[in-house]
Structure 1
Amino acid sequence: MRPLLRVEALIFNHNMKNILVQCDTNEGFYRLPGGSIEFGESAAVAIEREFAEEYDLQVTVERFAAVNEHIFEVDNQKYHHCTLFYWCAVEEDEQVVRSHKEHPDIILKWKEISELKTKLLYPEGVMKIIEQNQKEPVHWLTNVTY
């Protein structure tokens, strides 16, 4: 099995206290919005396409933030994702919760960064990137079994 190449967006609100996350309606865990990069597509174009396809939302890709090599196992099945993270921006509307167009049980919403510390946020280690709001790109490796 080959690694899957993904992109995810780091999007803060104007006061840097909230971040845009994707979760199920029960909010059992969170992840940053994004998806797979298609063949021949740049990472920035992939982010723009994913937001448009899934949420009818325009996003502006600003700069590269990090890369995560995420090797994990679920139910004896091994996976390997390489995810590129980018700092991005959207036209802000903090009251709106958007449902995924293909999976209505998945939503996009603003969450306070402090709230995310009490919930599962995938991949492991991304909270450090969020908290530090680093200007220099970061690389980290996670290797876990769920």
Structure 2
Amino acid sequence: MTSIRNIALAVPRRGDDVLVFRGYDHTREHTFYRPLGGGIEFGETAAQALHRELREELDVELTGVRLLGVLENLFHAFDRQGHEIVFVFACDLADRSLYERDHVGDILDDPGTPVMWRPLGGFDDTTPLYPSGLADLLGR
């Protein structure tokens, strides 16, 4: 069954850097980067989902959360079509020591998926930042 998935993504900044994970789509042999976050559950606001997802993925707390914008993302990945409504939030990490490390760690429930700071200007067609339109939103 196909459906539209609502997600919330956290975009902490360290100067010109954004916090992202590096993913790999084996079906297309394609490396990509995306901010942390995930699905919004029924009865949960996008901001509540953001806090929950960052606890689950990196065991971090967020402060200064504010909505930057909403993107609609239609894509093909992992051998399937996808359609997402993406709530993009600016935020800060409560643990300030995470700003001092380039490699922050791995996603807790997906060992081997690294989380790192990357310069916003360092993404391109060979190392894209997803979802589409995110770099433009962050560059405004």
Instruction: State the TM-score, normalizing by the size of structure 2.
Output: 0.81
1:108 corresponds in structure 2 to 115
Provide the rounded CA distance (Å) in 2 between the counterparts of 1:29 and 1:73. Answer: 13
SS in structure 2 of the partner of residue 84 of structure 1 = strand
Q: After TM superposition, where is structure 1 displaced by more than 6 Å over at least 4 residues in a row?
A: none
| Alpha-carbon offset, residue 119 of structure 1 | 1.8
Structure 1, residues 88-141: CA drift from partner, whole Å, max 9, x if none? Answer: 111332314211111112121111223224621111111111222xxxxxxxxx
| Structure 1 residues 73 and 113: alpha-carbon distance in aligned structure 2, compared to 1, 3 A threshold | closer
Aligned pair 1:58/2:66, yes or no? no
- Kindly report the root-mean-square deviation, in angstroms, between the aligned alpha carbons of the 2 structures: 2.2
Residue in structure 2 matched with residue 41 of structure 1 by the alignment: 44
* Partner Cα separation in structure 2 for residue 100 and residue 75 of structure 1: 19
Unaligned runs of 5+ in 2: 25-29
Q: Taking every aligned residue pair, what percent have the same amino acid on both sides? A: 29
Q: Which runs of 5+ in 1 are unaligned?
A: 133-146
Residue correspondences, number: 129
Equivalences for 1:2-21 in 2 at 5 Å? 2-13=3-14, 16-21=15-20
